[in-house]
Structure 1
Amino acid sequence: MSQGHGSEYPYLDSPAVNAEALAEEERRLAAVRRYELVDHPIEEAYQRVAFIAQTVFDTPIATVSMVESDRVWLAACEGLSGVKEVGKEPGLCASVISQDEVYVVNDALSDPRTLEHPLVRGQLGLRFYAAAPIRTHDGYRLGTVNVIDARPREVTPKQLKALEHLAAMVSDELELRLMVIRSAAAEERLRAGVS
């Protein structure tokens, strides 16, 4: 971690990070928070997406994640009971949100991006990881739809396209969620003004 950011931005580890990059990250975090999904119970719509991703890739684990400032919140999870969040070390979800393409790690023990990641070196023993970024309609990358295995794997272009479609479905679902949030807030304001 570089000195200028403080612990709130551990994934912005380049010494050349400037004020605009930090401002952009603040805007991204505001986008994550406007959907009010982090720290809330799992919703069935996101759980279905994780189940389909797990099925398409035939992996033991699949998640829908939101990348916060200091952690990765699992909005849905297949194959990891009781886990609601993981660390935000670079190499997995925190790296996926820096690009638009699907991110694939065929063998995490030989990929320099993931060699030292705690999920690779730790008890989980992650070896395979593929993720598509969840992009909002206004361009922010909030998190990922990802699949995980404890053995190295290869993937097909069709599987990767499915992962992209699932991430787009999450984005659409988030927009519906935002409409409900805004509608409820407007109704509350109307009630407050009428009283």
Structure 2
Amino acid sequence: MTLLPLIPTLLVEKVANNLLHRDPESVERLQRLDGKRLRFHLKELPFEITVSVDTHGVQLSTSDESDVDCRIATEMGVLPELQDTANLTRLIKADLLDIDGDPMLAQQVVSLFKSLNVDWEAELAKTIGDVPAHWLGKLWRRSREQVKTQWQQQQRWVHGVLTEEKKLLPVRAEFDQFKTDLQQLRAQIERLERQCREKKG
């Protein structure tokens, strides 16, 4: 592992902890997560990020290979979706999320930061400057748009499949008419058979 991701990781960690310390409600959330460790493999990054939580805040590492309570492989734009339990199954089926471990832990960590109503890009700019903060913000927004687009495409595909399948399946009225026509045809055949027997007799 190179030292390339070390500096931005430390800066993000510093900003995150500063924001957490400004929110009094974060103390209780940090206590619930004390000692927990997660590892994120984000599609947009060439390295994994390990998040360790204690009562003082979070620590980020790109070189930690120790065991974790949960490992998540996803995209940056998917992270906010993890807060809602109802999204997990949908994201997994759409191949946008892979979780190994406790999924509730992932939701709690995401909620830890999402519940902070702050301008992350502005806060990050105070520490690393406008250009790097803008780049990270742009990467985040682009990732979210890509995830949104993928989800919309899958919805359209599913809708198309269901629509075509519905066209192929007969509706109830068509099925009832088919039964009626079949019964009439059978009655006609029976009449013809009787007429043939009577002529022979």
TM-score range, shorter chain: 0.3 to 0.5
Higher relative contact order (CA 8 A, sep 6+): 1
The structure whose Rg is larger is 2
